[in-house]
Every structure is written in C-alpha cells, then in structure tokens.
C-alpha cells in the first residue's frame, strides 16, 4: 500500500501469533496536485495464522456487513445527509495469494467464495519475484481455472464503456496481477526508481517486464476507481439492502401484484411484532406461574420433611428422656437400698458394741468382789 500510493502509512507489522482474525481500520487524507482522496485501509490482522482456519472469513464478512448496515441506517433516516456521509463501505478487496506456484489454498477459495457477493475482489500474487517467469504464467492460469471451477466471481474491469473497453479487456486477461512492492529508491540509468536489490540483480517495481504493479495501479486508481464504487453500491450493497428489507418484511408488491403500501407494511409488521410480544409475555407468564407452582411444591415437600424430622427428633428425645428417668429411678432405688443396708449395719455394730461393754463391766465387778474376799 505504501508503494501503491507513494505514501508512508502508519502502523507496525503484526505478529503471526494472533488468537483470531482482527480487522484494523485506518483512514488517511491524501492529496496529489489538486485532488483530495479520503482513503481507508482495512488490514485483516492474523488471517490464516491459526491452526483451525475454518471460521477465519467470518470476522471479515461481519465487518463488511456492518459497514453496509451503517449506510442502510443512514439511508432510512427521515433527514438524510448522504452527500456529506463518510462512506465506510469496502469498495475493493486486494486478496493476496502466496507465490507457491502450485494451486490455491482451501482457505483462499472458501474466503473468496464468501466475499465475492459482498465486495469487489482483485486477486494479487504477492512477492511475485519469488517465482520464475514461466512458472508465474502457469500459476496465473491455474489460479484462474480454480476460481472458475469453484464459482468464485472476482471483479472484472468493465468493458461497456468504449473509452476504456480496450485497456480493461487487455487487463482482465492479466488477472491475477503479479506484484512486487518496495519503498526503496535506486538509481537505474539516469533515473531514481523503486526497486528491490538482490545478489543476482535488481527488480524494478515500475517496470512492466518485471511485474504487474503498474497495471494494478492504473486499473485501481486511475481508470476504474469510480466503477469500483458504483459496483459496490449497485451490486453488493443493493443485494445486502434487498435481503435486509425482505427480512424486515418489506416487499415491492403483494400477492395480487399491487404495489405495497409502506404504511400498511409498517402496520402489519408492527401488529405482527406486538402479537409476538404478547405471545412471549403470555409464555413468560405461564412459565412464571409454573415455576411458582414448582417452587411451592418444593417448599411444601421441604416443610413436610422438616415436620417429619422434627417428629423423629421429638420421639427420639422422649425415648432418651424415658431411658434417663428409668436409669435415675434405678439409681435412686440402689441408693435407698444401700442406705438401708448401711443403717442396718450401723445398728448391728451399735448393738455389738453395747453387748461387749456390759460383759466388761460384769467381769470388773466380779474381780472387785473376789478382792474383798
């Protein structure tokens, strides 16, 4: 892009370790002589870098559709300012193809097939100096054949205008363009030219014998820029607009081939929407009632389980209490029996002591009597 517009654009090279495809958009105001151009460059950062590339095209399609949607919303406004509206729709897709010299990757075919109804695709063989001249010619034929066999519609330069029919017809035969880019200038002869220096020689970017860069620049910027914009509006955007309005319920004619009234269509769509809204409200109400009933049943079941648990605990408590009372009674009986035994023992011991004391007195008395004698 720097070479194409002879400008140093901002931005740093992105790494090839992105987790997904991310689109990065930058807008620039370019000026050459008295011509001003607002250019927006959208880079598909991380495209093709993931192990699973199945959905790599989706962020690109979604981005293009989002620009169409923004334009449609502006178009549907009561007070439109389309003459002053910054059109962010993508007018050209420069699809770079790796210079393998073999066939297109499955990812390339799938992506271009998904994009051909949404954007003007211009296929480009990048770094074409990596392929020999004969291999490059065969590679171009191979790519064109694969695009046709897979039904991929690439952008064709228009030939209906006599002033550009001849040059555009010639350029269509050169598709896909094989290009080389360089911002370095070298002195070749008496001129400073953009080129790439290699140990085996110099490749001149603007030499048509070396690559198709000049052809791409002429076709893209000088000859067909307006046609790219017209194709975007008349073909790609119109298709998106028609599909979108049909999804919203708008049609040109009714079943009787009579023109559709916008007011009637709006009222019908509004009534349909209100009917769906009421239906959803009723479904939500029924669902709410059902969930309340289910919750009540759960609470009742939980309450029943709590009562049963309480009854079990109460019965268990009563049984334990009865056991403790029986045990206490048993212990009280044992204590009373022990006391009775103790009392009896003490009584016997007292009686024994009294009996022993009387016998001692009697013996003493007898001794005294015998002493007097």
Q: Measure the CA–CA gap between 137 and 140, rounded to whole angstroms.
A: 5
H/E element holding 41?
strand 35-45
Alpha-carbon distances of 307 from 318, 320, 368, rounded to whole Å? 16, 20, 91
For the stretch 42-82, pLDDT in tens is 999 999 888 888 889 999 999 999 999 999 998 888 888 87
Question: For the chain, which residues make up each domain, given as ranges?
Answer: 22-253, 260-339
Q: What is the DSSP letter of 259?
A: B
This model's pTM is above 0.75: no
Identify the residue whose tokens are 């620049």: 217
What whole-number percentage of the chain has pLDDT above 70? Answer: 92
For the stretch 142-197, pLDDT in tens is 999 999 999 999 999 999 988 899 999 999 999 999 999 998 889 888 888 999 98
Q: How far from the centroid of its chain's Cα atoms is residue 15's Cα?
A: 21
Rounded to a whole number, what is the largest CA-CA distance in the chain?
187
The confidence score (pLDDT) of residue 235 equals 95
144 closest CA partner among 115, 168, 118, 112: 112
Does residue 373 surpass a pLDDT of 50? no
Would you say the C-alpha torsion 276, 277, 281, 287 has a positive or negative sign? positive
Lookup: tokens for 25: 């958009």
The number of beta carbons lying within 10 Å of the beta carbon of residue 284 is 10
For residue 152, what are the contacts with CB-CB under 8 A and spacing of at least 6? 109, 112, 113, 116, 121
The confidence score (pLDDT) of residue 368 equals 67
For the stretch 239-271, pLDDT in tens is 999 998 888 777 766 556 566 566 666 677 778
**So what's the architecture of 22-253 in CATH?**
3-Layer(aba) Sandwich (3.40)
How would you class 125 by CB atoms within 10 Å of its CB: exposed for 0-12, middle for 13-18, buried for 19 or more? buried
């Amino acid at each position: 892009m720097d070479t194409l517009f002879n400008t140093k654009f901002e931005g740093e090279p992105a790494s090839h370790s992105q987790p997904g495809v991310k689109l990065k958009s930058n807008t620039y105001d370019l000026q050459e002589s008295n011509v001003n151009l607002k250019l927006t460059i959208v880079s598909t950062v991380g495209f093709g870098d993931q192990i699973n590339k199945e959905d790599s095209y989706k962020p690109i399609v979604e981005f293009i559709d989002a620009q169409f949607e923004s334009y449609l919303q502006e178009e549907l406004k009561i007070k439109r300012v389309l003459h002053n509206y910054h059109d962010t729709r993508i007018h050209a897709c420069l699809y770079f193809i790796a210079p393998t010299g073999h066939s297109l990757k499955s990812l390339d075919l799938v992506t271009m097939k998904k994009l051909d109804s949404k954007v003007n695709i211009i296929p480009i063989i990048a770094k074409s100096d990596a392929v020999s001249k004969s291999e490059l010619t065969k590679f171009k034929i191979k790519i064109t054949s694969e695009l046709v066999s897979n039904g991929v519609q690439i952008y064709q330069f228009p030939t209906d205008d006599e002033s550009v029919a001849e040059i555009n017809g010639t350029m269509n035969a050169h598709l896909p363009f094989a290009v080389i880019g360089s911002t370095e200038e070298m002195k070749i002869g008496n001129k400073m030219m953009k080129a790439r220096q290699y140990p085996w020689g110099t490749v001149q970017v603007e030499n048509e014998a070396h690559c198709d860069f000049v052809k791409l620049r002429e076709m893209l910027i000088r000859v067909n820029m307006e046609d790219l914009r017209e194709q975007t509006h008349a073909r790609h955007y119109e298709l998106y607009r028609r599909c979108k309005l049909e999804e919203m319920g708008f049609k040109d004619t009714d079943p009787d081939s009579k023109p559709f009234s916008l007011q009637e269509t709006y009222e019908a769509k509004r009534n349909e929407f209100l009917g769906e809204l009421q239906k959803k409200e009723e479904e939500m109400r029924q669902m709410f009632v059902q969930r309340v009933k289910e919750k009540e049943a759960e609470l009742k079941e939980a309450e029943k389980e709590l009562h049963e648990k309480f009854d079990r605990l109460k019965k268990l408590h009563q049984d334990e209490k009865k056991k403790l009372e029986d045990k206490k009674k048993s212990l009280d009986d044992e204590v009373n029996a022990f006391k009775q035994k103790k009392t009896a023992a003490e009584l016997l011991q007292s009686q024994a002591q009294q009996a022993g004391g009387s016998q001692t007195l009697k013996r003493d008395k007898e001794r005294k009597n015998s002493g007097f004698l």
